[in-house]
Amino acid sequence: MRDTLQPTLDLLDDGLRLYRREFPRFALIIALGALPMIALTLLIIRRPDLLASGGGLVTILLVALISMPLSVYLMGAISRAAATALRGESVTLREALAIRPLRLVGMGCYGGVFLTITNLAVSIMSMVCFCPLYAVMGAAAGSMAGLASGSGQASAALVGLLGVIIVVAFVLLYGFSLVLSGATYGSLIFSLQPFVQGKLRMGAALRRSIDMTFYRFGANLLAYMCASLIFGALAIGSTLAIGVLVPLPLIFLLGSESPIAQGFSAAALLVGLTLALPPLPIWMAVLYVRRSAERDGDDLAARIAAFAGSDSIGYPDQDDI
């Protein structure tokens, strides 16, 4: 088990180390996408009457439509920056954001189809795996209802035990469903790596994406799940630390009813969430680079080149014969 998990744990460590090293650039990239959402949130808090108007609803619908391609663009930019840092080159904002509109449209269309198929597969798997568990939980709840009508300490203790088991099972199932959801988005980001890394044409990038998605699928699935679990913990921790603790002094000074305090709290929540977003595309970029090296035999070529250039092993000189 340790040998199976160790490569994934090394991947997560390398991604976090890369994020710490290039934190200002990654934070700047994600901040460019967060600024419109922060401005819209502050506007809604300042002018809640805009939601009741037709213009406000149209604006919200436009933001919802733009959020998908903007998210794909930001994930691609972070992946490009991570790949550049992995090559030992300096990360520049201009190079990371240099994704052409036509390629972005192709990424969005392919990503939408990929996400639909993946969600369908996850839903079918969830129904097959989770429905029997929900049936058992329902039967346990029915047993609790029957035991609750009885008297005696044994019935009360059994009801309490069944209640604890049901609550624990529900929390575990809900947490696992969240991990599956995060793993789905992780697989989506991984599938888009051929479009953002390198200069492949759209058709070649599509074939490369399908090929790399199913190459070492089991190991990739484990990486998706572990990355989703750590990402969820980071997102909750950073959101609580920045979005809840930072605005507390201002809330105490101005009061919870103050528009300034409410706007600052909303902005802090968005900042905390956006600062937790880069690790997921960074991990997927690192995973893609490693899988590409394994798939293309780059490591083997490097070993052969090192072996051929070694002085310890070689052919004898003519003078020694």
Q: What is the pLDDT of residue 106?
A: 87
Nearest Cα to Cα of residue 93 among 8, 143, 40, 24: 24
Residues of the chain below pLDDT 50: 311-321
Q: List, in order, residues 6 or more apart from 138 with CB less than 8 Å away.
A: none
Q: What is the pLDDT of residue 40?
A: 67
Q: What is the pLDDT of residue 321?
A: 39
Decide if 290 contacts 11 (C-beta within 8 A): yes
Q: What is the pLDDT of residue 42?
A: 62
Q: What is the pLDDT of residue 319?
A: 45
Q: What is the pLDDT of residue 317?
A: 46
Q: What is the pLDDT of residue 314?
A: 45
Q: What is the pLDDT of residue 312?
A: 45
Q: What is the pLDDT of residue 235?
A: 82
Q: What is the pLDDT of residue 313?
A: 45
Q: What is the pTM of this model?
A: 0.78
Whole-angstrom Cα Rg for the chain: 26
